[in-house]
Structure 1
Amino acid sequence: MVRCVCIAALAVLLVGCNPERVTVSDEQQEVLALFGCPDAHGTYESATIEQVIADPARFHAKPIKVSGFYHVSFENSAIYPAPSAVMDFKRGLWLLGRSGDDLIGRRVTVRGVYDPGQNDGRHRWPIGGHLGQWPGAICVHSMEAAD
């Protein structure tokens, strides 16, 4: 009996720890191709926006999952760690390939591939956002309201 309970508990833990596999709809892949976004395979690594900004080489061209506050305004489509950080471009990440008007101003979870770009204002648009003001971009695979 104890053995059955242990096996069942282990199975539940393993299922709960199952990493999220990269999935991108065909429609979204077409949009991301327009921006020259890299293909991604494997699993999403969960990170905070601050971790991604602090260590861009670790996350470069890798699938990530981050949560934050989604903001859209003129030449600004980004995710920020807190509502108070909105418009502090250096604290946010530009979002490519997705608009979710119903999610503006809400806490969201974004899955996609991170590209730190070249933050000098002269690199290929739109990685790094308008005039390269953001510390990179996420090529968005999916975005939904966070719990």
Structure 2
Amino acid sequence: MAMKARAAKFNHTNNSRIIKSLLLLLAMSTGACSSRDNNISNSIMILNSLSCPPPTFDPPRVEIDDVLKQPAKYDETYITVSGKYNFGFEISAIYPATIATPKPEDGLWLHGVSPSPKSSTASHDVIVTGKYRTLLQGHLAKWPGGICVSSVKENRR
């Protein structure tokens, strides 16, 4: 009888801990998502909970080609790049605007963004700010590096 009582108490204690842990995780993830300005009306992408915090300074504006040529120079630094955002099944990347048929090796993976419901085509001219990382190589590690995105703006030339 004492073992049954102990087992019941153990299960109740474990269940209570699991429920508290799940509630804490839910609260943390909800807070992370809601702290971002996800105004869809003037954005083609939505930052998700995997995005990076914004820098406390104005990062240098660099060309995607420069990052691809010198990845070690930019690794773990905040940068701003412009180009064509391309998304689709297992694709979320930015490429130089001059690339007609994008291949992973020509661009940078974008981590922390989700296309918004406003997106109707698979390519947009954008300006992206975030932390470049050589280890962010996207789906199946096909991209040479990626950006943990802090902000995305439509590039209106």
Count of residue pairs brought into register by the alignment: 110
Q: 2:114 aligns with which of 91, 99, 103?
A: 99
Instruction: Tell me the equivalent position of 2:91.
Output: 76
Q: CA RMSD in A?
A: 2.5
How many Å apart are 1:51 and its aligned residue? 0.5
Letter paired with 2:132: Y
Matches for 1:38-53 after TM superposition, within 5 Å = 40-53=55-68
The 1:73/1:116 distance shift into structure 2, 3 A limit, reads same
Does 1:27 pair with 2:45? no
Percent of pairs with identical residues: 37
Instruction: Tell me the equivalent position of 1:16.
Output: none
Instruction: Tell me the equivalent position of 1:11.
Output: none
Q: 1:56 aligns with which of 63, 68, 71?
A: 71
Equivalent-residue separation in structure 2 for 1:146 and 1:136 (angstroms):
22
Question: What are the Cα deviations for residues 89-127 of structure 1, in whole angstroms up to 9, with x where unaligned?
Answer: 10010001012334541110000000011xxxxxxxxx2
How many Å apart are 1:40 and its aligned residue? 4.8
Letter paired with 2:67: V
Q: 1:139 aligns with which of 137, 141, 148?
A: 148
Instruction: Tell me the equivalent position of 2:80.
Output: 65
Equivalent-residue separation in structure 2 for 1:85 and 1:44 (angstroms):
29
Equivalent-residue separation in structure 2 for 1:49 and 1:61 (angstroms):
15
The 1:91/1:30 distance shift into structure 2, 3 A limit, reads closer
Q: Do the aligned residues in 1 keep the contact of 2:62 with 2:79 (CA within 8 Å)?
A: yes
Instruction: Please report the TM-score for the alignment, with normalisation by the length of structure 2.
Output: 0.61
The 1:105/1:31 distance shift into structure 2, 3 A limit, reads same
Structure 2 residue runs without a partner (length 5+):
1-33, 38-46
Does 1:114 pair with 2:129? no
Structure 1 residue runs without a partner (length 5+):
1-24, 118-126
Equivalent-residue separation in structure 1 for 2:86 and 2:124 (angstroms):
8
Equivalent-residue separation in structure 2 for 1:49 and 1:74 (angstroms):
22
